[in-house]
Each structure stands twice: as structure tokens, then as C-alpha cells.
Amino acid sequence: MTAPYLTAALYKFVDLPDHADWREPLIALCREHQVKGTLLLAPEGINGTIAGPEAGVQAVLAWLRRDPRLSDLEHKASWSERPPFHRLKVRLKREIVTLRVPGLRPQEHAGRYVKPEDWNALIAQPDVLLIDTRNHYEVKIGSFEGALDPGIGAFTELPAWLASQPALQGPVKPRVAMFCTGGIRCEKSTALLRQQGFEEVYHLQGGILKYLETVPEAESRWRGECFVFDERVSVGHGLQPGGHALCRSCRWPLDETDRASPLYEEGVSCPHCHARRGDADRERLAERQRQVTLARERGLPHIGSPTPTAAAPTGPEGAADSGAGPARPTGVQGAQSQPVLSSAGSVTR
């Protein structure tokens, strides 16, 4: 029997000068069909992940595809027993994935798509430089064998890392293969390299998620799990739920070893944030966790109240800003790579 909640991850780079006009109708449609998650709208296209009853999600997808510019909009589907999202957000942005490099047009200049079933053969070639374009905390729990980890805390840091790599700066441009969670970050990162004169630039069509869905585990070159920006936290081959959970204090993905640590206290701290939590923080977080536990015992929601319908900020930052990865706290020492996943929703990365 199919699980009751359908999750659809989608994105498309396309000129949408009228994107602001879509926000209110989309909010009304999603609420009518009990669909939650996050959708980002920008002049360069649409990006997001939504979930809900199958009929509701399909209704939203059909509404988007009624526009000729999105008639070929693709989505990646997965199923879950519990709602992956607690709120709905439809945001207006400058970019649907933030890189802050002017003049990029991924819809015209992205690298060559490589189907999941052909990916192994490409990355096995010794002259291909394989680059993971995701943030370090994502790479830490899983990546392709032999991939370079830029060690970045946000996608906007990738251009500087690329510029610092000697292998990419010589007169002879190497062959480069890039990948990310759902494919969208690679659309921009490969377009960036092509803008810089690289000719043989490839990226994994459909991203890691399509690879895990398509390639049998026995043939896979993927190692570990894939971080996803929703309440599933991570998935493995066949897009089956992984073994990671979120620290509800710092939002770092935790494996079994992390959760067995004496530094882990549900909702309060984990090995990644314990040293940064003072007594006042611990007391506040412990009280929040008590409220969460009490609501759970009573069968009541603790989060998920409807969000205001006022226009979202259009600035480059934000909790659902897909280009920057999960928003990072400010004023916390050592927080450069600290992920903070909003329970409000997710976007395709």
C-alpha cells in the first residue's frame, strides 16, 4: 500500500517576469488542497518542494503546468507515512538558488546532462574532475566515491573555492563533472564554469535523488546517505528514509553515534552545538522541548500554524533561500557550517 503523503520536488529555470502575480493564487490553491512546503518564485524561474495528499499535490502541479512556460515542468516524487512539512511558504526571491553571480543564464548555458544510468561510466574516467557542489554538512553524511568536497557552508561560497583550485586555473581546462541533491545547484555551477571558458562540463541529471532512485544499490558508486531539506532528514537507495535525525537545537543531521553521545539531549544540544550552549540557552531549549513532548502526548500539533499572507522579503537571504543552504545563525562562534533547517518547508537543491 502506498504511503498517504506525496512529496514533489521541482524546479525550472525559465523567464518569469510575472512571478509575483503567482504568489497569492498558489497560496490559495495549496491551502485548498492541504499542500504544504516551500515554493520560491523569481524572475529566473521556480523552485520548491511540496507535500500533501496525492490529489492535492497533483492539482498544484497541474496548475503550474497550465502555463506554456512550465508545460514540461518535471518533478521527483517520493512517499511518506507522515507529513514532511508543517507549514506552507510561497516566497518571492531574486534567485531561485542564490549564487550572486550576475549574468548567469542556466537555461541557456548549463553543462551537459548525464543520465543516472550513464553517470558511473563518466566519473570512472581518470581525467574527469568530480566536484560535490553541496554544503559540507551534506557531504559529511554521504557523497560519490572520489568526489572533491569544497568544504563550503553556503552555495554562495562555491565561486571563490573554484577560483582557488589550481587544477581549474591552468590554460588547459579539465573535464569537470558536478552534482548536487536535486540538480538545481549544478545548473548554476556548470553555467558558471562554462562562462569561464570550460567546454567539457557535465552534471548529473535529476541530481543525487534521481541517481538513488534509478541505479541499483549493487551498481552504485554512492556512499552513505543523502541529506534532504525536509523532515525525512536523509534518504538512501530507492529513496528509502535514512538513519539520520535533526538536532532540534542547531539542526545538524545526527547519526546513531551522535544520538548516543552524552552531549546529546533531545531538543537541547548535540555534539555539534553542546559547547556553544550556555545555561540560559539550555533552560530555554529544555522548556521548548517539554512543550513539544507535552503536545505530542496530547496528540496536538506544536508547530504548523498558518503563516501570514504578507509578501515575503525579496532580499537574498532567508530561511528558505535555497542558494545559501539552510540559514546559519549569526553571532555564534564556529557556526560557519552549521545547518539550520526550517521546519517550515524545503526547496530543491
Please state the three-class secondary structure of the chain as a single string. CCCCEEEEEEEEECCCCCHHHHHHHHHHHHHHCCCEEEEEEECCEEEEEEEEEHHHHHHHHHHHHCCHHHCCCCEEEEEECCCCCCCEEEEECCCCCCCCCCCCCHHHHCCEEECHHHHHHHHCCCCEEEEECCCHHHHHHEEECCCECCCCCCHHHHHHHHHCCHHHCCCCCCEEEEECCCCHHHHHHHHHHHHCCCCCEEEECCHHHHHHHHCCHHHCCEEECEECCCCCCEECHHHCECCCEECCCCCCEECHHHHHCCCCECCCECCCCHHHCCHHHHHHHHHHHHHHHHHHHCCCCCCCCCCCCCCCCCCCCCCCCHHHCCCCCCCCCCCCCCCCCCCCCECCC
Single-letter residue type at 136: H
Is 186 among the catalytic positions? no
Give the active site residues. 180
